[in-house]
Amino acid sequence: MDILTLFWNLVPVTLVQGLIYSLIALAIMIPFRVLSVPDLSSEGVFPLGAAVTAALLTVGAHPLVATLASVAAGFLAGMATALIHLKFKVHSLLAGILTVTMLWSVNLRILGKPNAPLFGFETLYDWVSRAIFPSLALQILFFGVLAVTLILALWWLLQTDLGLGLRGIGANPHLAPALGVSLVAYTAGGLGLASGISGLAGSLMAQLQGYADVGMGVGMLVNGLASVIIGEAITGRGTLLRQISAPVVGAVVYYQLSSLALALGLNPSDLKLVTGLFVLLTIGWPYLVGRKVTGTGL
């Protein structure tokens, strides 16, 4: 029973973690599901967001400015991936890998060192309320409200003319230009939007844990994919709102599941292997049992 007590005590901390990482899952869902342009940039944009915030906070910038700058940096990185993909005719996955690789150097330049502590600097949480940082309950409330706000904002955006254009290029990239939707502009905007959210996640994470680290994006992507898959299994994809909620629900569940697995004795260093196998199995399952024969899993 000690094991379950250990897990139970960690539930609030894991919930905060899950809610922050739910932004990454959202950022992964947008390219995969809305634009049908699978993109891996998050893995490099997450530490980019952290690095930009850290660099700005340490030179005395206002935490809100630092956070927004991280969103903007993420947006630019996402646009870069889109332009590499469309202008240089590179597959979007490879374009994302190139962006992540190049961002490693950029992030080190921005931070000036592999790891920058942020203790003692005012953070976004302090700016909102001094009570947030010491209270797990308020952190859960903060990130919960943020996640719900993002879900609703995306839900609204994707129902506007602009958002319908984004879904249009995802649903039929041949038709959309014939209806006047620019493939380049909308893909760049869509990937920019997704990476902006990843940048925000990196910024919030750095401010919460009190440091930025160039290595903090490693594994984000597979965790995010696992979250999206779990979330879609729970909420389904039948409506726009379900599709948008899925990554957040999935991330919350995924991080509790991995916490449970660790409590049950799974070696933390094995977690990525287990997560990877989980993603593979879920994607491949319909093919293995012969229910699906065409298309791709994701």
Partner 1 sequence: MSSTDSSTPALRLDGIRITFHAGTPNERVALDDLGLVVNQRDFVVVIGSNGAGKSTMLNVIAGALTPDSGQVELDGRNVTQLAVHRRAAYIGRVFQDPMLGTAPALSIEENLALAGRRGQRRGFGLALNAVNRKRFAEILAPFGLGLDTRMRVLAGKLSGGQRQVLALLMASLRKPRLLLLDEHTAALDPGTAEQVMQATRRIVEEDELTALMITHNMQQAIDFGNRLLAMNAGRVRLDLAGQAKRDVTVDDLVQRFAGAADHQLLHA
**Which span sits near partner 1 by CB under 8 A: 97-105, 165-173, 213-221, 250-258?**
165-173
Under the criterion CB under 8 A, does residue 192 sit at the interface with partner 1?
Answer: no
Place of tokens 């680290």: 213
Residues 222 and 215 sit within 8 Å (Cβ to Cβ): no
CA distance 113 to 191: 28
Exactly one of 63, 165, 192, 217 binds partner 1 (CB under 8 A); that residue is 165
Say whether residue 73 binds partner 1 (CB under 8 A): no
Task: Count Cα atoms within 13 angstroms, Cβ side, for 283.
Answer: 15
CB-nearer residue toward partner 1: 175 or 273: 175
> Residue 289 interacts with partner 1 (CB under 8 A)?
no
Site string for partner 1, 98-137 (x = CB under 8 A): ----------------------------------------
Instruction: Produce one character per residue of 113-135: b if its CB has 16 or more CB atoms within 10 Å, e if not.
Output: eeebebeebebbbeeeeeebbee
Distance CA 49, CA 51 (A): 6
* 276 contributes a contact to partner 1 by CB under 8 A: no
Quote the CA–CA distance of 138 and 186 in Å, as a whole number.
37
How many amino acids of this chain bind partner 1 (CB under 8 A)? 23
Q: How far is the CB of 181 from partner 1 (least distance, A)?
A: 6
Report which secondary-structure segment, H or E, holds 113: none
CA distance 82 to 88: 10
**Is the Cβ of residue 32 or residue 278 nearer to partner 1 in the bound state?**
32
Query: Residue 115's beta-bridge partner residues?
Result: 213
| Near partner 1 by CB under 8 A: residue from 28, 37, 69, 181 | 181
Does 268 participate in binding partner 1 (rule CB under 8 A)? Answer: no
63: contact with partner 1 by CB under 8 A: no
Binding site for partner 1 (CB under 8 A): 157, 159-165, 167-168, 170-172, 174-183
